[in-house]
Amino acid sequence: MGTLYYGDNLDIHRCYLYDESVDLIYLDPPFNSTQNYNAFFQEKDGSTTVSQIQAFGDTWTWNRESQHVYEELILEPGKVSEVMQAFRTFLGTNDMMAYLAMMAPRLVELRRVLNPTGSLYLHCDDTAAAYLQILWEAIFGHGFFKNQII
């Protein structure tokens, strides 16, 4: 049987998952939509109510944490470092760069835990898809990306 973990997937991967131990990954991360998403509640009888709470914010801003993650990523020699530095040169320190700094270490960890014969599905929209595909190629290698479903 499988195990369900609750928490930040980066922490879960680093603490609980072994190298090449996962056969199937479906990743549905935030899309960098610059929107806040709310959870709505219903009354006991099923009727709607105005009660709601913010479920999560999908807004990314370059800050100290983004800078720190970026610096860690570029210290490791290789394609990920090169791509992140190219993104930084092109994008500067904007919101998209903050989003990519959040996504990069997660994709690196997914690569580590994915079985060589495993599959990974990344659910994203066109907001960051082009950048994610370049980052994907740097992490997984040319040819790992098979198809885009629209």
pLDDT at 33 (0 to 100): 67
* Every domain of the chain and the residues it spans: 9-140
Identity of residue 99: Y
The Cα angle at residue 56 between residues 55 and 58, in degrees rounded to 5:
150
What's the longest Cα–Cα distance across the chain? 59
Check if the beta carbon of residue 18 is closer than 8 Å to that of residue 112: no
- What is the rounded average pLDDT of the residues 84-99? 96
Check if the beta carbon of residue 85 is closer than 8 Å to that of residue 95: no
- pLDDT, tens digit (0-9, with 9 covering 90-100), for 105-131: 999 999 999 999 999 998 888 889 999
